[in-house]
Amino acid sequence: MPIEISKAANISPGTGVPTAEELAAINKFTRRELTTEEVYTFSVVLCDNEIDRDNEQFTPDALRKLAELFVGTTGIYNHNWNAHEQVMRIFEANAEGVDGEQNSVGEPYVALRAKAYLLRSAENKRLIDAIDAGIRKEVSVSCSIGNVACSICGKAPWTDGGCLHRRGREYDGKLCYRILSEPTDAYEFSFVAVPAQPAAGITKAKTKPGEPGENMEQEGIMDEKALREQYPDLIAGIEKAAADAAEKAAGETAVREERARLEGIQKLAAGVDPEMVKEAMFGATACDKAAFAVRVLEAEQEARGKALKDLDKGLADSGAGDVGGAPNGGATPPAETPKKSFAEQAAEDIAALKELNGGAN
């Protein structure tokens, strides 16, 4: 999978006035023919084959391929991929060497140099003045690299069975750095306020998909602001994933709570008016188990009250209410038979036994 790369570079001094050949190259990207008076141009060194402070290096072939890819790319501010931030465009790029100059590992030095243009408009005047004054001179470029290899073993990092060497360290006296080759795309170049490296050097922030903060192994832990500036897409992806997970969890919780509510009502639904159950579960006044229980009790109390009223009305209609409350309609009850004493009852029981035995004593 291609790796996203961004590097800082510098604007080279120039006249700002395009030649006839440069104007012809510029007009290949315009909808109408621009004139010399309408255009401001400047030159910039995008990157080179020097080992940078992140211990990475473009190959000369990579630089030559990037020269092709960067032609026509837009220039913006702070890598803000917003159409309103487009202010300039590269119209020419070349990978060039300098006679006799070598990089830090003794290889012929090669730099990717480009020319860009912008309109001489009132809106761009401050930018042009800042470029001419040397205030705006650092730019950062973004591209995609198809291959990364270790300078010690030649293997690719981040892969199973891949390189285990740590860039920036020496192994048997040789510095470990990563070699960047096979570029696949060039995205944009951007004015930045503070590059991560000195003006003479190169800076970049690189993130391999699935390997967040890969540069931290040398630069240490970053604070939130630095992470957001250097890895905006990664941070946005993390925050979106967290928001999606929270939304999913909230949805699952809501489903569990709704299922528990319905089950609670169903447990109390036996013998209850089906319409009352339906309203409690799905109606405009849907409620939970506790509220449903209150409704059931209130309905039962109301039913009992109605039954008592109906009973009173029935008694009144039948005339039964005029009947006295005394036993036997108020008549005097018969006198109770006096209770026998224990002795009397015992004597009667003995006499009965004798009679049964034929009068024997």
Dist CA 317 CA 213 (whole Å): 92
Does the pLDDT of residue 349 top 80, yes or no? no
Give pLDDT, residue 118: 93
| Cα separation values, 353 from 340, 343, 347, 357, 360, Å | 18, 15, 10, 6, 9
The answer to whether 183 and 61 have CB atoms below 8 angstroms apart is: no
pLDDT digit string, tens, across residues 110-155 = 999 999 999 999 999 998 898 888 888 777 778 899 999 999 999 8
What are the contacts of 285-289 at 24+ separation with CB within 8 A?
288/261, 288/264, 289/261, 289/264, 289/265
Q: What is the DSSP string of 146-179?
A: EEEEETTT-PPTTSTT-----TT-EETTEE--EE
Does the pLDDT of residue 210 top 50, yes or no? no
pLDDT-based confidence at residue 347 (cuts at 50, 70, 90):
low
CA 173 to chain centre: 45
Dist CA 63 CA 110 (whole Å): 8
Give pLDDT, residue 98: 84
pLDDT-based confidence at residue 233 (cuts at 50, 70, 90):
confident
Q: Which amino acid, residue 279?
A: E
Residue 224, both tokens: 């939130």
Does the pLDDT of residue 77 top 50, yes or no? yes
Mean of pLDDT values over 260-268: 90
pLDDT digit string, tens, across residues 13-48 = 556 899 999 999 999 999 999 999 999 999 888 888
The overall average pLDDT reported for the chain is 79
Mean of pLDDT values over 82-104: 86
pLDDT digit string, tens, across residues 270-329 = 888 899 899 998 899 999 988 888 888 888 888 888 888 878 777 777 766 565 555 555
Dist CA 341 CA 348 (whole Å): 11
Does the pLDDT of residue 100 top 90, yes or no? no
Mean of pLDDT values over 331-352: 65
Give pTM, 2 decimals. 0.52
pLDDT-based confidence at residue 81 (cuts at 50, 70, 90):
low
Mean of pLDDT values over 346-359: 63
What are the contacts of 76-84 at 24+ separation with CB within 8 A?
76/188, 76/189, 76/190, 76/191, 77/190, 77/191, 78/190, 78/191, 78/192, 78/193, 79/6, 79/140, 79/142, 79/188, 79/190, 79/192, 79/232, 80/190, 81/188
Give pLDDT, residue 312: 76
Dist CA 230 CA 232 (whole Å): 6
The answer to whether 190 and 142 have CB atoms below 8 angstroms apart is: yes
Give the range with max mean pLDDT: 56-60, 222-226, 292-296: 56-60
Give pLDDT, residue 204: 39
Task: Outline where DSSP puts E strands in 59-107.
Answer: 74-77, 88-102
User: By CB neighbour count within 10 A (0-12 exposed, 13-18 middle, 19+ buried), where does 338 fall?
Assistant: exposed
